[in-house]
Chains A and B, each alone.
Chain A
Amino acid sequence: MQADRWLPKLILSPTLAASLFFVYGFILITIALSFTESRLLPNWEWAGFERYAELFDNERWWTSAQNLAIFGVLFIAVSMALGLLLAIFLDQKIRGEGFLRAIYLYPMALSFIVTGTAWKWILNPGLGLEKLVQSWGFTSFTFDWLVDPDKAIYTVVIAGVWQSAGFAMALFLAGLRGVDSEIIKAAQVDGASMPTIYRRIIVPTLRPVFFSVTLILAHIAIKSFDLVMALTGGGPGTATDVPAIFMYQFSFSRGQLGVGAASAVMMLMTVIAIMVPLMYAETKSANAR
């Protein structure tokens, strides 16, 4: 019976060691690199906060940060709203639910590269939607957000939402199915209308689901690289640059490993700044219950 106690630990220990080293070890190395003179190759000469000063003086970094804020907020908010709406509609015990659910979930099965490329063609004014509508006779129709530097970031939101709203829907639907039908029946007996029941009873009980959806969508948003690369390539110009692209280019194309590491650390700090309060609030409220 001794083996029962130490065997699982023994089997898990290599995985634990590997993830400690390859995840947390590399985070520490990146943080260390961001304080050095590293250029083309790692160089362990201490540079203090110089790399951060360089980073914050870079206009492109601020464009990236701003884009991430716009994209992140809109992407999470719209995916969540749309997902919840679809889930509530699907929850009405309609016919063909399984079929519809599969359709809404299907985009999730694609990689962001495919989504980005397809939407690049759909949104290209000379190729996709604009040309199609114009060829139907509406010659004054224009939809050129993809090539407009001020609006291009919103096309990334559109493509991202298209991909992820179905996933949010699936999570919400699972949550809705978990709501005790006794409560709903009790509310109906009390004379509450369906919209009120949803607003006052069902949606508030979905709180943990909102938390998981936010968590998952937020990390998709912050690390988004492939979608932007495929859809706009960061363009027009640098209009849709996001921190992940910035980090990649500075670390690997431009021989500024130090600045790249500094930007990676800033991304990590953003994740921590958003996630830690969120997780703290969630665990606290769970304990209170």
Chain B
Amino acid sequence: MKLKPIVAAIATTVLASTSFAAEVEVLHWWTSGGEAKSVAELKKMMEAKGHKWKDFAVAGGGGDAAMTALKARVVAGNAPVAAQIKGPSIQEWAQQGVLADVSGAAGEWDKLLPKVVGDAMKYKGKYVAAPVNVHRVNWLWINQDALNKAGGKAPANFDEFFALADKFKAAGMVAIAHGGQPWQDATVFESVVLGVGGAKFFNDSLVKLDPKAIDSPTMLKSFDTLAKIKTYIDKDSAGRDWNLATAMVMNGKGGMQFMGDWAKGEFTSANKVAGKDYACVATPGTANAYTFNIDSFAMFKVKDAAVQKGQLDLATAIMSPEFQEVFNLNKGSIPVRSGMSDAKFDACAKKSIVDFNATAKSGGLVPSFAHGMAVPSATQGAIVDVIAKFMNSNMSSKDAVVALAKAAKTK
């Protein structure tokens, strides 16, 4: 192709004029309040080590815009030092041969990270990415007042869950606050699969995509449960943003919401307190399981020796206890490395830390399907299409299982 050298030439003339030696350029899409504050901490730490930080923030589209920018840069042979990439996408990029080995900074990481997390950061046994934080996805957020009126006991399984939902409904509330967007549908779906089938079934069906697990009575039951959940959602939910659904739980219009722990940020910024205004519990039937959503920085191959040093320092800084604490306090997630003090974290985060460590040992720690941690984006997209269709039509559970089995074959 003639295009490549031309793009490269344009890109280098434009970009070379602005880049100096030992400049550490980091691509990310953390641009909103708490997130931007978190990134500023990383910048401070890098500058303290004598490197020049170059921010390459591309907002919008939940990272889509950033990924498009990244592709253009990599094709042009001018990749940034590090970019915010997570889950199986790390492997996809590594297969293109553009990621750098940062094992030099990762001496202790095998001990500090649960195996399932460490493996996600490695390509062919070498660390190519550094994990930043852990979000738990299988949280259920409940309005505490409503819960107290309904007996005060958080539901431990789906029978109790639906009994509670009936009480909320009788009290004139929208029992389940939900936003009808495909990714939110998928978030509910994966928690239901985890609750109905358990961690092993979750792993077989949504991570390994085993056809036997997908075409099973357990999956059928999961869809039946999801269909029942659908009946507790108000009809205005179509297209509603997740934070509006969280606001419904906050002001008592809605009873509860399935959402990852970023919802906590909404509660905190509205000065709501866990245990008093709202309750955070594991979604029904998943007390011993944990769906993780881990943000990470993938490290790209760079030539300049000074920049390579900056890259290793960046990896070290990201995994340092200081950064992990400051960053996650701002972002609402928990540190990914074990053995840190949880003194400064709130009640929900403390519970999250305890469960993260416990499930890492018990095997209940599974990658979140809905948040791009489990399967490649093409397969995930195809499955999410099926779930969204199921949530927005009269599709039967049986047909859904058949469609799911077909979607799981997408490569």
Please give the residue numbers on chain A whose beta carbons come within 8 Å of chain B beta carbons, in ascending order.
Answer: 25, 29, 39-42, 44, 59-60, 120, 124-127, 144, 146-147, 149, 152, 232-233, 235-239, 249-250, 252-256
Assuming the A-B contacts A40-B92, A237-B389, are A125 and B378 also in contact, with contact meaning beta carbons closer than 8 angstroms in the complex? no
| B109: min CB distance to chain A, Å | 26
Q: Are A249 and B234 in contact (CB under 8 A)?
A: no
Q: Which of the segments B27-35, B63-71, B141-149, B212-220 contacts the partner chain?
A: B63-71
B266 contacts the other chain (Cβ, under 8 Å)?
A: no
Q: Which of the segments B131-139, B150-158, B235-243, B257-265 contacts the partner chain?
A: B235-243
B195 contacts the other chain (Cβ, under 8 Å)?
A: no
Question: Which of B61, B96, B380, B403 lies in contact with A41, CB distance below 8 A?
Answer: B96
Task: Determine the main DSSP class of B at the interface with A.
Answer: helix
A147 to B89, CA, bound (A): 33
| A238: min CB distance to chain B, Å | 6
What residues of chain B lie closer than 8 Å to A42, measured between beta carbons?
Answer: 75
Assuming the A-B contacts A144-B235, A147-B238, are A236 and B377 also in contact, with contact meaning beta carbons closer than 8 angstroms in the complex? no
Which of the four size classes fits the interface of chain B?
35 or more
Q: Mark B78-93, 1 if CB is under 8 A from A, else 0.
A: 0000000000010011
Question: Which of B64, B67, B388 lies in contact with A237, CB distance below 8 A?
Answer: B388
A240 to B391, CA, bound (A): 14
Assuming the A-B contacts A252-B64, A256-B378, are A238 and B388 also in contact, with contact meaning beta carbons closer than 8 angstroms in the complex? yes
Q: Are B1 and A44 in contact (CB under 8 A)?
A: yes
- Residue pairs across A and B with Cβ atoms less than 8 A apart, 29 shown, are A29-B1, A39-B378, A40-B93, A41-B71, A41-B96, A42-B75, A44-B1, A59-B403, A126-B236, A127-B236, A146-B238, A147-B235, A147-B239, A152-B238, A235-B181, A235-B239, A235-B392, A236-B239, A236-B391, A237-B180, A237-B182, A237-B392, A238-B182, A252-B64, A252-B67, A253-B67, A254-B381, A255-B92, A255-B376
A232 to B235, CA, bound (A): 14
B393 contacts the other chain (Cβ, under 8 Å)?
A: yes
Please give the residue numbers on chain B whose beta carbons come within 8 Å of chain A beta carbons, in ascending order.
Answer: 1, 3, 61, 64, 67-68, 71, 74-75, 89, 92-93, 96, 180-182, 185, 234-239, 376-378, 380-381, 385, 388-389, 391-393, 403
What residues of chain B lie closer than 8 Å to A40, measured between beta carbons?
Answer: 71, 92-93, 96
Q: Are A255 and B377 in contact (CB under 8 A)?
A: yes
What residues of chain B lie closer than 8 Å to A60, measured between beta carbons?
Answer: 385
Chain A minimum-CB-distance residue to B67: A252
A255 to B376, CA, bound (A): 9
Chain B minimum-CB-distance residue to A259: B378
What residues of chain B lie closer than 8 Å to A238, measured between beta carbons?
Answer: 182, 385, 388-389, 392
Chain A minimum-CB-distance residue to B393: A149
Apart from A40-B93, A236-B392, what 9 extra A-B contacts exist at CB < 8 Å?
Answer: A125-B236, A147-B239, A235-B388, A236-B180, A237-B389, A238-B182, A252-B67, A254-B380, A254-B381
A261 to B93, CA, bound (A): 20
Q: Are A254 and B378 in contact (CB under 8 A)?
A: yes
What residues of chain B lie closer than 8 Å to A254, measured between beta carbons?
Answer: 377-378, 380-381
A237 to B238, CA, bound (A): 8
Question: Which of B234, B381, B392 lies in contact with A149, CB distance below 8 A?
Answer: B392
**Shortest Cβ-Cβ A-B pairs, 10 listed:** A237-B392, A126-B236, A237-B388, A147-B238, A236-B392, A236-B238, A254-B381, A149-B392, A254-B377, A255-B377
What residues of chain B lie closer than 8 Å to A25, measured between beta carbons?
Answer: 3
